[in-house]
Amino acid sequence: MAHANENFAHLQAGYLFPEVAKRIRAWSERNPGEKVLRLSIGNTTEAIPPSLARAMKDKIDALSKSDTYTGYGDEQGDICLREALRSHYMNEYGVTLPSDAFFISDGAKSDAANIQSIFSSSSVIAVQDPAYPVYVDSNVAGGHTGLYDRESECYGGIIYMKSDESNGFVASPPESHADIIYLCFPNNPTGAVATRDQLRTFVDYAHREKAIIIFDAAYCDYIQSAGIPRSIYEIEGAEECAIEINSFSKNAGFTGVRLGWTIVPHNLITQDEDRSLLHRFWNRRQTTFFNGACNIAQAGGIAALTEQGRKECMQLVSYYKENAAIIKEAAASIGLTCFGGVDSPYVWTKCPDGLSSWDFFSLLLEKAHVAVTPGSGFGPAGEGFVRISAYGHREDIEEAAASLKENL
Ligand code: PLP
């Protein structure tokens, strides 16, 4: 008799973004003809940079002729793209990693969700609170956690590293032992970045505890503040205790194209004697469960890492960052307290008058027709905040900013 995996039943009500979409839909049905200014999800809106689009068109042309057609590629990714990433890390971050430490994927979300499968199910997980929901949910579905507690709004067995105003939204490492620590900088949802010293405390902790850091750097190109690391491997010793996940979604507009990568170094220190185990297990995982990223997307990824491609991608990033500045200025001008939005596309905004995240979400929708994401959906410490996203056409961002100023 078949049984469904009971771990999935432990996941709490609807994943955050479908729930936001449901409530916006319901509002639109109640208010026919009214435009919703969507600053809710982190979905890109602008065109793919021209040299990347050209490279993908060329790849389609090559695939359409039998003498240049190619079928399955390496599950780990096109060696040209892995090589290009290796050079990129060396040139931009001064980091030396072998190209076979780079595993190309269909995006950071799948990798962030799947990475837990190569660790023991008895692993103690630590997450930033608030955090991108995938880290917690994938560990719940993978059976690495206890049950959800309604009172605390936390899962048993997970260490929540509270990130709030008192620590500038950058938590310190846990006081107790953790085996796997998820970090995301620039952070989704708070927009916070970590300094070199702050990251070093995590690397030191990981060495002390023989723990592994899963570092999600999906927004690293948004960092403009001087001296802020863009890769965890800029911290000495991180190649022995950190796995880094990244994406072409937010700098190349590949949210729909789908392309990302994960770096699993060869010499990660765990309780196991064999330092290459995690690299081998991720290789085994990818070659068994995945048949390689789309070859058209990978051609675009290679173009994104050329000098011209980087220039175009950074122009795209600048566009979204200008959007973030417009939103932040508007929110601050009506007396809202805002964080982030400088090294990040997200403006983390405090709910006024003690309103809850969902109440402020509803108020913004009702009064300004602006849709945001309630902070409580990212974890209990997100309560009392909303995340305003800078992904949108400039005219829509300006309309939303004007509406906030006029109607709130
Ligand atoms: N990691 C973080 C922190 C994100 O915010 C997102 C998307 O919003 C992702 C990963 C997903 O990236 P991808 O589109 O590559 O799956």
CA nearest ligand 1 atom 3, residue:
188
Q: Is the dihedral of CA 313, 85, 61, 107 positive or negative?
A: negative
CA gap 393, 390 in Å, rounded: 9
Averaged pLDDT for residues 20-25: 90
pLDDT band at 187 (very low <50, low <70, confident <90, very high): very high
Averaged pLDDT for residues 263-280: 94
Please say if the pLDDT value at position 16 is more than 80: no
Q: Which two tokens stand for residue 358?
A: 């969902």
Please say if the pLDDT value at position 364 is more than 90: yes
Please say if the pLDDT value at position 328 is more than 70: yes
Longest dimension (CA), the chain: 67
What is the per-residue pLDDT for 41? Answer: 83
> From the CB of 42, is ligand 1 less than 6 Å away?
yes
Rg over CA atoms, the chain: 21
Averaged pLDDT for residues 229-244: 98
CA gap 354, 276 in Å, rounded: 50
CA nearest ligand 1 atom 11, residue:
109
The minimum-distance atom of ligand 1 relative to the CA of 187 is 3
What is the per-residue pLDDT for 14? Answer: 63
pLDDT band at 381 (very low <50, low <70, confident <90, very high): very high
Q: What is the DSSP letter of 49?
A: P
Cα angle, residue 169 at apex, residues 368 and 204 outer, rounded to 5°:
155
From 311, 298, 307, 312, select the one nearest 55 (Cα to Cα): 298
Task: Work out the mean pLDDT of the chain and round it to a whole number.
Answer: 96
> From the CB of 392, is ligand 1 less than 6 Å away?
no
From 307, 296, 346, select the one nearest 324 (Cα to Cα): 346
> From the CB of 109, is ligand 1 less than 6 Å away?
yes
CA gap 261, 245 in Å, rounded: 6
What is the per-residue pLDDT for 273? Answer: 87
pLDDT tens-digit series, residues 25-83: 999 999 999 999 999 888 999 999 999 999 999 999 999 999 999 999 999 999 999 99
Q: How far is the CA of 132 from the centre of ligand 1 (A)?
A: 8
pLDDT tens-digit series, residues 331-347: 999 999 999 999 999 99
> From the CB of 132, is ligand 1 less than 6 Å away?
yes
> From the CB of 249, is ligand 1 less than 6 Å away?
yes
Determine the residue of 219, 249, 294 to mutate for testing ligand 1's pocket, defined as the one with the most ligand atoms within 8 A of the Cβ atom: 249
What is the per-residue pLDDT for 15? Answer: 63
The minimum-distance atom of ligand 1 relative to the CA of 41 is 8
Please say if the pLDDT value at position 13 is more than 90: no
What is the per-residue pLDDT for 20? Answer: 87
Determine the residue of 15, 184, 188, 258 to mutate for testing ligand 1's pocket, defined as the one with the most ligand atoms within 8 A of the Cβ atom: 188
What is the per-residue pLDDT for 40? Answer: 86
Alpha helices in 210-337 (DSSP H): 249-252, 277-289, 295-304, 307-333
pLDDT band at 262 (very low <50, low <70, confident <90, very high): very high
> From the CB of 376, is ligand 1 less than 6 Å away?
no
Percent of the chain with pLDDT strictly greater than 90:
94
Q: How far is the CA of 3 from the centre of ligand 1 (A)?
A: 31
From 244, 175, 242, select the one nearest 211 (Cα to Cα): 242
Q: How far is the CA of 16 from the centre of ligand 1 (A)?
A: 14
Averaged pLDDT for residues 372-389: 96
What is the per-residue pLDDT for 18? Answer: 82
From 92, 164, 84, select the one nearest 131 (Cα to Cα): 164
Which amino acid would we find at residue 132? Y
Alpha helices in 94-166 (DSSP H): 108-114, 134-141
What is the per-residue pLDDT for 19? Answer: 82
What is the per-residue pLDDT for 362? Answer: 95
CA nearest ligand 1 atom 8, residue:
42
pLDDT tens-digit series, residues 139-178: 999 999 999 998 999 999 999 999 999 999 999 999 999 9
Determine the residue of 243, 250, 258 to mutate for testing ligand 1's pocket, defined as the one with the most ligand atoms within 8 A of the Cβ atom: 250
Determine the residue of 43, 105, 109, 114 to mutate for testing ligand 1's pocket, defined as the one with the most ligand atoms within 8 A of the Cβ atom: 109
Percent of the chain with pLDDT strictly greater than 70:
99
Which amino acid would we find at residue 310? R
